[in-house]
C-alpha cells in the first residue's frame, strides 16, 4: 500500500510537470484567494479607482510539498490621473509551474464616470506581453523521441489585449472582465502546439454591511469561466474590525477552503495572509497553499487611512 501511494503521488507530480508537453495544453490564469485587494490583476477598469497611488506585491505558493507545484509572484502599481477620471496601472507577473516559467508585463488604462452621487462606472483596457520559457531538462522524459522535448522554449513572446468594466460605490461593486481577448498559441514550431492561451471571463461582486460602528462585513463572489475547464466560483466573507484587523473565510467551489487575515500595520500599509486547504483528492499529497501580500497606499486624495470601500 505504501508503494502504491508513493506511485500515485509521483503520478500527480508527473502530470503537473509534463502538462506542458502534451499536444495541446489550455493554459489557465493563476488563481488568487485574496483577489479582492487588487482587482486590477483581473480587471483593468479597477486601476485608479482607489483614488490613491497604490503599490501591491503578492506571492502565492500552491500545493506545498508537491514537486513542480505552481508558484506565482505579482507586482502592481495603480493610480488615478488627477481629476480627469483616468486611471493607469502597471503590472508584472511571474508564474512557475514544473518546467515552465511564465513572465507577463501589462499596462492598464481606465476611465470612470459618475452615474449619480453614489455610483461610478469605470471602463478599462489592458495591453500585455508574455515571455514563456520551458526547460525540458527538468522533466523525467519517458519518450526521448518526442519532438516537443528536443528543444527548449526560450523567451517565446506573445502579445494580448483585454478589457473590463467596474461599477462601484463606497459599499458595493460589480465587475466583468476578459483580461486576454486573443486566443493565442503560446508555442508552435509547425510540429506541435505546446499550449494555447484562451479567453478567461471574470465576474465579481461584493457588498459592505455596517454591522456596528467599528465592524464591517463584506460578502464577495468571483466566478471564472474558460473554455475546456470547469466553471470556478469563489465565495468569501471578510470582517473588518476597528479599521485595523480583517478576518475572513473563503470557499472555492469543489476545490478548497481558505482562512484569510489582514492587518493595517500603519497609515497606508496593509499586510494580508491566506491559507488554502484542498477539499479534493489532491489534499492527500500536499500541505495546502499559502498566499501573502503587502499593499501601500500613498497620496490618498480621500485623506483617510485606507479606502472606506473595504475592497
CATH of the domain at 79: 2.40.160.40
User: How many structural domains does the chain have?
Assistant: 1
Task: Supply the pLDDT for residue 307.
Answer: 43
* Residue 59 included in any domain: yes
Name which of 84, 209, 203, 189 is nearest 147 in CA terms: 189
* Residue 306 included in any domain: no
Q: Residue 7 belongs to what H/E stretch? A: helix 2-18
Instruction: Enter the pTM of the model.
Output: 0.85
C-alpha cell at 242: 476597528
* Residue 308 included in any domain: no
Cβ neighbours of residue 234 under 8 Å, at least 6 residues apart? Answer: 33, 35, 221, 222, 223, 224, 250, 251, 252, 253
CA separation for the pair 18, 12 (Å, rounded): 10
Q: What is the dihedral of CA 20, 222, 290, 259, to 10 degrees?
A: -150
Name which of 132, 195, 130, 202 is nearest 163 in CA terms: 202
Task: Supply the pLDDT for residue 17.
Answer: 44
CA separation for the pair 140, 125 (Å, rounded): 41
* Residue 28 included in any domain: no
CA separation for the pair 13, 263 (Å, rounded): 35
* Residue 274 included in any domain: yes
Task: Supply the pLDDT for residue 99.
Answer: 84
Domain of 172 in residue numbering reads as: 37-298
* Residue 32 included in any domain: no
* Residue 179 included in any domain: yes
**Which residue's entry shows cell 503560446?**
186
pLDDT mean by block of 10 residues, the chain; 311 residues? 39 43 54 93 95 95 90 96 95 92 96 95 97 80 66 84 96 96 67 66 96 94 90 95 95 95 94 96 92 91 51 80
CA separation for the pair 292, 242 (Å, rounded): 22
CA separation for the pair 84, 101 (Å, rounded): 38
* Residue 26 included in any domain: no
Amino acid at each position: 500500500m505504501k508503494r502504491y501511494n508513493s506511485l500515485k503521488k509521483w503520478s500527480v507530480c508527473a502530470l503537473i510537470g509534463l502538462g506542458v508537453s502534451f499536444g495541446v495544453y489550455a493554459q489557465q490564469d493563476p488563481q488568487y484567494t485574496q483577489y479582492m485587494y487588487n482587482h486590477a490583476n483581473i480587471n483593468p477598469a479597477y486601476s485608479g479607482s482607489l483614488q490613491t497611488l497604490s503599490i501591491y506585491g503578492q506571492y502565492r505558493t500552491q500545493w506545498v510539498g508537491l514537486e513542480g507545484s505552481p508558484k506565482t509572484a505579482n507586482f502592481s502599481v495603480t493610480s488615478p490621473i488627477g481629476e480627469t477620471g483616468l486611471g493607469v496601472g502597471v503590472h508584472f507577473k511571474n508564474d512557475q509551474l514544473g518546467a515552465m516559467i511564465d513572465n507577463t508585463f501589462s499596462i492598464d488604462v481606465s476611465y470612470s464616470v459618475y452615474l449619480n452621487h453614489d455610483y461610478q462606472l469605470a471602463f478599462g483596457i489592458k495591453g500585455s506581453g508574455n515571455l514563456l520559457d520551458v526547460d525540458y531538462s527538468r522533466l523525467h522524459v519517458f519518450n526521448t523521441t518526442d519532438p516537443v522535448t528536443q528543444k527548449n522554449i526560450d523567451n517565446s513572446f506573445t502579445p494580448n489585449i483585454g478589457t473590463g468594466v467596474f461599477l462601484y460605490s463606497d459599499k458595493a461593486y460589480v465587475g466583468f472582465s476578459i483580461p486576454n481577448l486573443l486566443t493565442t498559441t503560446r508555442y508552435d514550431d509547425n510540429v506541435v502546439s505546446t499550449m494555447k492561451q484562451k479567453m478567461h471571463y471574470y465576474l465579481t461582486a461584493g457588498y459592505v454591511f455596517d454591522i456596528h460602528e467599528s465592524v464591517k462585513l463584506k460578502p464577495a463572489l468571483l466566478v471564472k469561466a474558460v473554455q475546456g475547464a470547469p466553471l470556478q466560483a469563489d465565495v468569501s466573507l471578510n470582517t473588518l474590525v476597528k479599521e485595523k484587523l480583517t478576518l475572513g473565510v473563503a470557499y472555492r467551489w469543489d476545490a478548497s477552503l481558505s482562512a484569510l487575515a489582514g492587518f493595517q500595520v500603519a497609515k497606508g500599509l496593509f499586510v494580508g495572509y491566506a491559507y488554502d486547504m484542498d477539499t479534493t483528492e489532491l489534499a492527500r499529497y500536499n500541505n495546502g497553499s499559502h498566499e501573502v501580500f503587502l499593499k501601500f497606499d500613498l497620496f490618498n486624495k480621500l485623506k483617510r487611512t485606507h479606502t472606506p470601500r473595504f475592497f
